[in-house]
Structure 1
């Protein structure tokens, strides 16, 4: 008969508790506890890597004010279960408490946290040191920061530890300058030292290199050029020139590039920088600079662009020789050169030769953007004459041969409209379906969806619609940066995230697509909406094939479109839209076009704030609604006044949003003239006839914005589009 094992019961209890994920540490030996902690760390690391899209209550609290989220975080942090959620809650609680100078309670949240939250160990040590500092235990604070530096010598968190230690012993700042000049905290030390002793060119160079985008860096570059030019190496001049170029100080960049290493890009920028000089640019000097590139690097890609610039600067006959050089040596640039050559031949009365060049363009470069432009030009001419068949014939190949062209969405839509006019209903439906499927982000996708009968609103009923909006509940995972940075950003630890990412980028004159997008995310959380949105938009301008591929992949994601079409000021927009009985997405779309959500932005003519209200208009509206004390830069006041005026423009035109939006831009008087002059029964033709180029673009952009907000955030429309894109 077997005797029962004495230790059997505790082992069974331990096993059961482990399965429940709730182990009492009192009953565990150190060895078992270490095994369990290692296992839990592995689980958390796996969760961070593989389950990034799993629901997280903590991440939904990232942008909730600290006091409002305290109770929920405390409840999650008090859980007995080791989990990523509990770790995140404890970290956020500690961070919130430190901001309130509550060192002791923060230390309790941070106790042993590095054991269960591995990706954040360096920052946990940083915050623990701060907790000790606030508790007046400065020896423990310094010891903790020294532990961080010794344990993670290469981590950028160590730069901040060195910065903190420097407050007690300035020799640590020397280490920081030597090891981490790219870190913003260390750059603050450098600036202070330069303030105390300006004659330190090596420190100036560090700022010129690692703080190139900082608004304070141009004076730094100026000092290097004016006071230390003789000491600078070609590599130093490259850093200075790149910095000037980054901040659009092109002429100074051109002068600096003359002393930098001789590369095709530098030669091009020497010429282009001088050409962009607003006053006093010497045309012959610019031409000579472009020609120097042409002869020095005849095969370089920059030379193709230089030849194009030379053609623009030269009389027609000389320009044609430069264009011929492009056609001969640079096949990818040849279509645009052919199209430009044909225009010049027209000026020189070479009609037959120009026709031959255009025929060559059509036959040899059918898939090029230049061919699409030419086809569309001919289609428009035919449409002006009322020949729908000829217009359709010219435009239809664009939809298949040039589907990536910027003209393709518009061409596809009008192919459908012209097919309707010709009675070819099936062809028209196919064309509209093609635009929706192939160009879902375009204004013409909305116009096509209207033609297909989708419930997306039309010009005559869009103001009354109240579309369902499903906003993301947590921040997206940035595509660039370290795991530690990504976690800080998603937690809403913005200052730490921004500082860390800036340090991780270091000296990079040009960011990759993913880095640029990540930087744009950070701009949005800082309220720099204009910069952030525009930065995402210009990601498509990358010339490098690998970067183009990276952009194509990024734009397939929801986060790309949600960042390009964000929802700042969502609550006041919905509140005032509801009061004015306006579609909130229409108001958001107009605001995005007017100000890119910048509350204090002012136009050259004085239009101010989120909805760009003119002071006289604001005063007139304020009198109408008895608003005595207001500010056009106050978001709530601006939206109040702007939505009243948008409602007013709607009332002037029987709630026709096309005319109301056009009137918001051009004024009711101009729109009334256009209504009398042009055919309003076909709104698409009316938009084409708007004589003010700015207003025509404004109308298309505002309603294009509306369509994008609808397709991104409205579940019904996004599901419809998914079916079309399969």
Structure 2
């Protein structure tokens, strides 16, 4: 938003609760791929019946309390054991939240025997309900019963924490047996309030409390107090924590004291470089010399070439070219740029030719081809530009540049009067790259009802959110069951115990972690975990990632849809396309209502306080809080309406103004005019704003293709693996 710094660094200051709902289309298929699922959930006919009821229950979650209770009660009295048990569990959970503990106990009676997959959690609810009724003695008995019957189940941590209130030894047992459980971390925090120097508590938080708001303060204190007593394993945990919190300088220093592995050696160097603390060059050289055949050595050589003098950099790049074929393309492109700097034009040209001839399928070759195509297009030679861009689609189909190259081949074909080739190319973009910004532009140019830059504001696309969840790809039976029932907080707590591989997760584990984070409203990190799967490098991991991308569950996780009701309400009030508003919110805040940018912008639509005050005065709003979703969307949509009015409802200019400010956009338009809007976008002088515009409209397109039945069905006819059908 206007008056905000163009570089945003978000600070997580809280997380709201949310529910991620994803498509039921894949429920059976995903279960069929999970041999470790429980037998009663693997039965074909019973699975289909259970899926129907799960879908019903998730739909019921959105109903008013009375209606929901009525529906759940009907399911609870049905003669289907699994569905009945699920309904009783949900009824009991609702009743506890409503303060009706006695009625909750009625639903819970005998449920632990009827519902074995969640038996420990039934006992947790019983103990909590008994405590709320004032029967402390019976509650204590139930906690003890849970420990006796399920001593190794993570739910036992709840019992240990409850019992530790009267006997601290149970707290010691919780820290020893379930150090990762969030309830155990609460004990550690409580102990540190009394004595900030308890080493065991600090170490537990360092390893398992990454989600805590003041996590890095705990790390700082642990390092300061016990620096000389920490083991290499301790330093590795501390380093990972700093790294995840983007405190790279501290992370690099800590990784230097961790066990000597290729990964830790590389992160030592990279952390020192990013943290600008000095010593990165020596650390990179140490990585290369100590682990000469490790993939990290190849990356270290590339990094070295960018921080030393060009004449030395070329030697490092030659090593990368000779020893690491998967890095050769990147090294050759970097080498050609350095040779240009050294005024060795002929050698630079030969290096580029070698790149194209010997490593033409690399991402670096795609980058070079697109650079040459863009230069020719700017010079007005669209025919030659086409010649350079077309091979990107065939030789580098997985490059990030491929959708852009294909789209512009279509645009250039149009300019050259080749309408048939243009249409075929735009259809290809939709088929091959249906998730891209350029797929939206292609759909528009093919005449689809998706809106263009001047008309997208006025569209009011129907929104149909899927109602059920596919199972998680990994995790225990209890974890999957809690997730299916929408018990997101309990799912998250259990996952903290089960997720033992956070530093080097598998593709399935990382996706599961992202989905679970989304479930508790941590959309910032949840979306990051899902989107960052694209950074996998090994052939096996990339194959798993590409298979995952074929599932709609991946896309629903990447484009969640919280706050639908206030978004639709205020979009209607401002006469804005609700999916455009959703797209902008996703880009601005990742749906985190309690975050503040480095420049001070707040909330879902990142409203600057002074801008918010100006808007509030305009609309005569006396009381508001930027952290409240409804207030923030109310103010943010007013401003988006204002930027549209400034530019005659051109949404491209309105969105650019939201990021860079109307003054900057006005200057661009005054100097160049709009002309071809696609070319205008590519020529936006602010790198951030240019990327911002593309990403907002890419978001818009993905929400449209995922949640609008008309477009999803139309896309399925062209790209059946990527459209909803």
After TM superposition, the score normalised by the length of structure 2 is 0.88
1:265 aligns with 2:259: no
Other-structure match for 2:584: 590
Match of 1:326 among 312, 315, 320: 320
Deviations 1:451-473 (A, max 9, x none): 22222112222222111111122
Alignment pair present for 1:565 and 2:564:
no
Higher alpha-carbon deviation: 232-241 or 341-350: 232-241
Structure 2 residue 306 is matched with structure 1 residue 308: no
Task: Tell me, yes or no, if structure 1 residue 688 matches structure 2 residue 687.
Answer: no
> Take 1:202 and 1:601, find their aligned partners in 2: how far apart are those partners?
31
Once residues 614 and 161 of structure 1 are traced to their aligned partners in structure 2, the CA distance between those partners, rounded to angstroms, is 45
Q: CA deviation at 1:408?
A: 0.4
Q: More displaced, 331-340 or 639-648?
A: 639-648
- 1:334 Cα deviation after fit: 0.2
SS in 2 for 1:156: coil
- Quick check: 1:58 aligned with 2:57? yes
Contact 2:587 2:696 in 1 (8 A): yes
Distance in 1 (CA, whole Å) between partners of 2:166 and 2:616 is 56
1:431 to 425, 428, 436: 425
For residue 291 of structure 1, what is the aligned residue in structure 2? 285
> In the alignment, which residue of structure 1 is the partner of 2:16?
none
CA contact (8 A) 2:247 2:275 kept: no
Query: Deviation of residue 305 (structure 1)?
Result: 1.4
Write out per-residue CA displacement over residues 139-198 of structure 1, whole angstroms, 9 at most, x where no aligned residue.
443443333333333211122222233334443333333322222222323343454455
**Which one has a bigger Cα radius of gyration?**
1
Quote how far apart the aligned CAs of 1:308 are. 1.2
Residue in 1 that maps onto 2:209 = 211
CA 670–176 in structure 1, closer or farther in 2 if over 3 Å, else same: closer
Correspondence 1:523 to 2:522:
no
Which residue number in structure 1 is paired with residue 30 of structure 2?
A: none
Alpha-carbon contact 1:213-1:246 (below 8 Å) kept: no
2:87 aligns with 89
Distance in 2 of aligned mates of 1:590 and 1:163:
42
State the match for 2:156 in structure 1: 158
Which 10-residue stretch deviates more, 59-68 or 405-414?
A: 59-68
Distance 1:401 1:101, change over 3 A: same
Deviation at 1:359, TM superposition (A): 0.9
- Are residues 573 and 516 of structure 1, via their aligned partners in 2, closer, same or farther at CA, if it must alter by over 3 Å? same
Correspondence 1:647 to 2:641 = yes
Structure 1 residue aligned with 2:142:
144
Give the 5 Å matches for 1:573-612: 573-612=567-606
Aligned to 1:675: 669
| Between 335-344 and 564-573, the greater mean CA deviation after superposition | 564-573
CA distance in 2, matches of 1:88, 1:393: 60
Aligned counterpart, 1:74: 73
Report the alpha carbon displacement of residue 392 of structure 1 after superposing the two structures with TM: 0.4
- After TM superposition, the structure 1 stretch with the greater mean CA deviation from structure 2, 671-680 or 571-580, is 671-680
1:652-667 equivalent positions in 2, closer than 5 A: 652-667=646-661
The one of 226, 229, 249 equivalent to 1:228 is: 226
Deviation at residue 307 of structure 1 after TM alignment? 0.9
Alignment of 1:706-721 (within 5 A): 706-721=700-715
How far off its partner does 1:476 sit? Answer: 4.4
Q: Deviations over 1:82-125 (max 9, x none)?
A: 33322111111112223344333222111222333231112112
Once the two structures are superposed, what CA deviation does each residue of 1:343-383 show, in whole Å capped at 9, x if it has no partner?
11112221111111111111111111101100000011101
Structure-to-structure mapping, 1:407-426, within 5 angstroms: 407-426=401-420
RMSD across aligned positions (CA): 2.6
Q: Partners in 2 of 1:392 and 1:691 — Cα distance?
A: 24
Q: Deviations over 1:679-715 (max 9, x none)?
A: 5342212222222323222221221111111101111
What is the distance in 1 between the residues matched to 2:480 and 2:396? Answer: 38
TM-aligned CA deviation for residue 430 of structure 1: 1.8
> Deviation string for 1:196-218 (max 9, x for gaps)?
45555344433333334544444
2-side partners of 1:622 and 1:139: how far apart? 54
Contact 1:58 1:85 in 2 (8 A): no
The reply to whether residue 451 of structure 1 matches residue 425 of structure 2 is: no
Residue 226 of structure 1: how far off its partner (Å): 3.4
Q: Identify the match of residue 527 of structure 2 among 524, 530, 533.
A: 533
Structure 1 residues 507, 461: CA separation in 2 closer, same or farther (over 3 Å shift)? closer
Q: How many residues align?
A: 681
The 8 Å contact of residues 338 and 357 in structure 1, kept in 2 or not, is answered as yes
Q: Take 1:140 and 1:68, find their aligned partners in 2: how far apart are those partners? A: 32
Is the Cα–Cα contact under 8 Å of residues 251 and 277 in structure 1 kept in the other structure?
A: yes
Assess if the C-alpha contact under 8 Å between 2:50 and 2:83 holds in 1: no
Which residue number in structure 2 is paired with residue 23 of structure 1? none
- The reply to whether residue 167 of structure 1 matches residue 165 of structure 2 is yes
Stretch of structure 1 that moved more, 161-170 or 321-330:
161-170
Contact 2:511 2:530 in 1 (8 A): yes
- 2:115 counterpart residue number: 117
CA displacement at 1:602 relative to structure 2: 3.6
Is 1:127 matched up with 2:121?
Answer: no
Distance 2:122 2:42 in 1: 16
2:236 aligned with 1:238: yes
Are the structure 2 counterparts of residues 561 and 42 from structure 1 closer, same or farther at C-alpha, using a change threshold of 3 Å?
A: closer
